[in-house]
Amino acid sequence: MITSESLKFKPVKTMHRKPFIEKRIRREKERRTDEILQAARKVIPEKNFAGATMDDIAAEAGITKPTIYQYFSTKDELFVSMVEPMIESLAVKLESIRTNLQGNSYSSGKNIISDVFNVYYGTFEQDPDLFRLFNIFLQVGIVQKMNKEAASTIKKWGKKCFDEGNHIVRTAVEQGFFRDVDIHHTTDFVWGSFWGIVQVEQNKWGREGISSFLKPVLQYAENLLITALVKK
């Protein structure tokens, strides 16, 4: 039976829709952020960091420049968002080697050096274009010209990588795996060897051809380091 009470307006409960709406907004933000980063990764290598503008990146992403500024306040912030995950991942993996070494998980210096090179190569192999882009930026000193906050973030993770490298070498010397070498010079040499070899091979063979030639050269460098550092 229909009564006046049953005909009264009853508000629709929308609370259960709130999580759905928030999830959709989050997905849209993630999608848009990824589109901007992908556009930046295409534009910046073509025009160099200094020459690439937010207008260029917006045009590549198919959005307006004001839209980009809703996600990234500066080009420096955009760059940091591109490279920070890679540097952080490298630092964490080096930390893992250092932790294993301090936990007496290694039986030879050769395995230590092999693991370090595998970490570097794995970082490159995961995203060669981004690795190359960051390598170029380091060489021309762009990071040093960034705003204080962006430069501080990059330098923080760079320092973390070097610190972990120093810890690895120092512990390997203390445990008798490596010869008594200069800790900091050795870390610089290992870092410079890898990044330098990547740059040389990319210049020689280009983006498509580097994979076939890089690993054999890195293996040769690894063997040289084993000969130079590891105690017999």
Q: Considering 32, 49, 72, which residue would you say is the last residue of a domain?
A: 72
Number of structural domains found in the chain:
2
Residues 29 and 53 in one domain: yes
In a domain, 12, yes or no: no
Q: What is the pLDDT of residue 130?
A: 82
Spatial contact of 179 and 231, defined as CB atoms under 8 Å apart: yes
Q: Considering 10, 38, 72, which residue would you say is the last residue of a domain?
A: 72
Residues 81 and 66 in one domain: no
Q: Say what the pTM is.
A: 0.80
Give tens-digit pLDDT for 101-112. Answer: 999 999 999 999
Q: What's the rounded mean pLDDT across residues 126-147?
A: 77
C-beta contacts of 70-75 below 8 A and 24+ residues apart? 71/29, 71/32, 71/33, 71/36, 72/36, 74/147, 74/150, 75/49
Residues 38 and 87 in one domain: no
Q: What is the pLDDT of residue 12?
A: 53
Spatial contact of 188 and 114, defined as CB atoms under 8 Å apart: no
Query: What's the token pair of residue 56?
Result: 């260029």
In the predicted model, is pLDDT for residue 225 greater than 90? yes
Give tens-digit pLDDT for 14-40. Answer: 556 667 677 776 788 888 999 999 999
Residues 61 and 117 in one domain: no
Q: Which residue has the higher pLDDT, 163 or 3?
A: 163
CA-to-CA distance for 208 and 191, rounded, in angstroms?
24
In which domain, by residue range, is 200 found? 75-229
Residues 129 and 29 in one domain: no
Closest CA to 134 of 219, 67, 194, 59: 194
Q: What is the pLDDT of residue 200?
A: 82
Band of residue 209 on the pLDDT scale cut at 50, 70, 90:
low
